Amino acid sequence: MKKLLLTGAAGRIGSRLIEDLVDQYDLTAADKDCTTIAEWKDRGCRLVTFDVTDLSDCRQLCGGMDTVIHLAGNPSPFAKYDELKGVNIDGTYNMMQAASEQGVSRLIFASSIHAVKGYAADEQVKTTSPVRPPDLYGASKAFGEAIGHYYGYETDMEVVAIRIGGYRSLEVMKENGEEPDMRERSTYVSKRDLNQLIQKCAEATLDKPFIIVHGLSDNTFKFMDLTDTKEKTRYAPVDNGFDFQ
């Protein structure tokens, strides 16, 4: 089985992704604290605690891995620069550098819709559109895309950057009794669609050593275009934010 490393495994996305990966890969799940995902140890998943701001930790973690899915990061769009620098800037560099040094074939980087969320709500963003972050969190993800481009083209490691949309945002709004508007529905991505896309990115044959893909469900209007994402990865989303009740 292919050896796969998942960082940020205890986070909102990672903790729901493990269940789809654990039977498909020789899986190592890593985070700063793995307490909340301890049950996966009994399913054959290795759990490792690490510090993404420590390059030596990252090197040790990447040793022997075929593929890295790098989700670890500060996910707050309200975070200040000092709160983002260590994890989202230095940590992203550490993981890409360590993975490259250790001979990892492909790294999948969790970018964000926030890298381009500064565009108008009715303007569809392409994977080729210039970044337009409305916050420093988005800028940190734009940095990750830029450095991913470097590692993809200047080293032997392929890099895929996924601009993840509003992950389970409509479910959260429903739980809070809130009514989603057009923008919320157009930026939505469900758990099963994102899990599918991440796995497609791990297995796809790439035509370039670095690509950007868009992580949205098959929403009636998509804030980010999915045309080339589907072509490059064979992604086939099944959910639609405009159908969500």
What contacts 192, CB < 8 A, 6 or more positions away? 238, 239
The residue written with tokens 């769009």 in the block is: 77
pLDDT at 245 over 90: no
Active site residue 167: no
pTM given for the model? 0.97
What is the spatial distance between Cα 155 and Cα 131, in angstroms, rounded to a whole number? 23
**The amino acid at 43:** R
Name all domains of the chain by residue range, CATH numbers in brackets. Answer: 3-233 (3.40.50.720)
pLDDT at 211 over 90: yes
Distances (CA, A) of 200 to 1, 14, 32, 79, 170: 16, 16, 26, 30, 24
Determine whether 155 is exposed, middle or buried from the number of CB atoms within 10 Å of its CB (0-12, 13-18, 19+).
Answer: middle
In the sheet that holds 3-7, the strands lie side by side as 46-49, 26-31, 3-7, 67-70, 106-112, 158-164, 210-215
Q: What is the pLDDT of residues 4-39, one digit of tens each?
A: 999 999 999 999 999 999 999 999 999 999 999 999
Q: What is the pLDDT of residue 90?
A: 98
Q: What is the pLDDT of residues 62-113, one digit of tens each?
A: 999 999 999 999 999 999 999 999 999 999 999 999 999 999 999 999 999 9
pLDDT at 134 over 90: yes
Transcribe 177-220 into DSSP letters: TPPP-HHHHHTEE-HHHHHHHHHHHHHPPPSSSEEEEEE----S
pLDDT at 42 over 90: no
What is the spatial distance between Cα 88 and Cα 36, in angstroms, rounded to a whole number? 22
Which one is catalytic: 93, 137, 151, 167?
137
